[in-house]
């Protein structure tokens, strides 16, 4: 298949929002917390790990859940469904017999297609849901259930359980280096330098596109997805070490938070930090501006990171649903009780969010 992967210019082309994992969306999200549409999603007889959301350039919501890629139009109607097990069988009959399989959230591409990794294959789908290409990515591909990143040059960043990071451009994987174990997708600077959480290995590092190390920060065993703000500062957390740090553009630690967290970029150099038990707004020094307590949830290696919208509201998954929090005061704007912790959340259009639950997609205004 065509193997140059250009990210769509949509509001939310991949989990984390952009290549920096900034968690920012360029519109206002919901204001009332009211469900306006509920979409029943297809199920599978197989056991699948991983789920997520993205938005295509035409505004369609791309859903990966329970072994299917589903395209939902802006009107809430299902436009196409792709059975990932059947597609995998087309390209690899041996891999298709595995009954407990990981997959990544979707990545929306600029040509209207969608990329989903079902290890060890990258599968590419057209807007009609048809499989239009595949690549074998090799062994030990990351199975954390997080969306892969793409370089500005069109390369697919491949991270591996065994610690390796490669970039595949035009079907030719080029090693960047080995960084530890269970490497989650990195955050990328504008020049494609990568901030990598090198668990049980290199630690939190920044390397150039050719693998040359730029800096190494003092954070033991980082294992959550890192984020980069518009000024090049980095925030990253470690579940193992039970803490997070903020570092400047050359890797010097400038802030600390005594909890493992995943982050979204705030204004004025601040960050929104989602820990297992709360949402925080912190300065670059890690000092809290406010704390909004939440019932504990699994952060999912960063899959439940906060989302900051253009109207000064932070959107988070809770143990029972979805909450919007005022970015200035930390007070709740609304609290939507769904009786479960959603699998994924995305602001998908002006005044709209998509919430992925067990076997349904909710559109919220």
CB neighbour class for 169 (10 Å; exposed up to 12, middle 13-18, buried from 19):
middle
Q: What is the mean pLDDT of residues 202-211?
A: 96
How far does CA 319 lie from the centroid of its chain? Answer: 19
Torsion of CA 211, 216, 219, 221, to 10 degrees: 30
The model's confidence at residue 171, banded by pLDDT at 50, 70 and 90, is confident
- The topology (CATH level 3) of 35-364 is Methylamine Dehydrogenase; Chain H (2.130.10)
The model's confidence at residue 96, banded by pLDDT at 50, 70 and 90, is low
Q: In this predicted model, what pLDDT tens digit does every residue of 294-348 receive, in sequence order?
A: 999 999 999 999 999 999 999 999 999 999 999 999 999 999 999 999 999 999 9
For residue 94, the model assigns a pLDDT of: 74
Task: Give me the chain's average pLDDT, please.
Answer: 95
Q: In this predicted model, what pLDDT tens digit does every residue of 110-137 receive, in sequence order?
A: 999 999 999 999 999 999 999 999 999 9
Tell me the CA distances in angstroms from 7 to 155, 159, 348, one per residue in order.
10, 18, 16
Of 150, 168, 187, 159, nearest to 16 (Cα)? 187
Q: Is the pLDDT of residue 274 over 70?
A: yes
Q: Is the pLDDT of residue 3 over 80?
A: no
Q: What is the mean pLDDT of residues 231-253?
A: 97
Give, as one character, the DSSP assignment of residue 89: H
Distance, in Å, from the CA atom of 274 to the CA atom of 262, rounded to the nearest integer, reads 5
Q: How far apart are the first and last CA of the chain?
A: 38
Q: Is the pLDDT of residue 1 over 70?
A: no
Task: Check if the beta carbon of residue 159 is closer than 8 Å to that of residue 120.
Answer: no
For residue 169, the model assigns a pLDDT of: 87
């Amino acid at each position: 298949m065509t193997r140059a992967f250009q990210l769509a210019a949509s509001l939310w082309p991949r989990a984390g929002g952009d290549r920096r994992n900034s968690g920012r969306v360029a519109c206002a999200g919901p204001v009332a917390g009211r469900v306006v549409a509920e979409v029943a999603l297809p199920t599978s007889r197989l056991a699948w790990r991983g789920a997520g959301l993205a938005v295509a350039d035409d505004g369609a919501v791309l859903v990966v859940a329970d072994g299917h890629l589903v395209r939902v139009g802006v009107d809430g109607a299902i436009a196409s469904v792709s059975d990932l097990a059947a597609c995998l069988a087309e390209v690899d009959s041996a891999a298709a017999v595995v009954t407990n399989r990981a997959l990544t959230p979707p990545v929306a591409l600029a040509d209207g297609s969608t990329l989903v990794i079902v290890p060890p294959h990258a599968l590419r789908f057209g807007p009609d849901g048809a499989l239009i290409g595949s690549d074998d990515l090799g062994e030990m591909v990351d199975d954390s259930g997080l969306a892969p990143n793409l370089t500005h040059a069109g390369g697919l960043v491949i991270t591996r359980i065994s610690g390796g990071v490669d970039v595949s451009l035009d079907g030719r994987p080029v090693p960047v280096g080995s960084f530890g174990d269970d490497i989650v997708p990195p955050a990328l600077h504008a020049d494609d330098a990568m901030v990598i959480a090198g668990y049980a290995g290199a630690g939190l590092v920044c390397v150039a596109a050719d693998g040359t190390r730029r800096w190494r920060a003092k954070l033991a065993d980082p294992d959550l997805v890192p984020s980069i703000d518009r000024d090049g500062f980095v925030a990253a957390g470690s579940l193992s070490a039970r803490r997070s740090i903020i570092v400047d553009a050359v890797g010097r630690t400038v802030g600390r938070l005594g909890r493992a967290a995943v982050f979204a970029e705030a204004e004025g150099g601040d960050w929104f930090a989602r820990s297992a038990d709360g949402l925080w707004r912190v300065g670059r020094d890690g000092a809290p501006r406010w704390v909004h307590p939440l019932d504990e949830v699994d952060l999912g290696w960063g899959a439940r990171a906060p989302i900051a919208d253009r109207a000064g509201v932070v959107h988070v998954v809770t143990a029972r649903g979805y909450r919007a929090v005022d970015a200035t005061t930390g007070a709740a704007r609304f609290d939507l009780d769904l009786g479960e912790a959603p699998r994924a959340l995305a602001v998908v259009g002006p005044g709209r969010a998509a919430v992925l639950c067990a076997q349904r997609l909710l559109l919220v205004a």
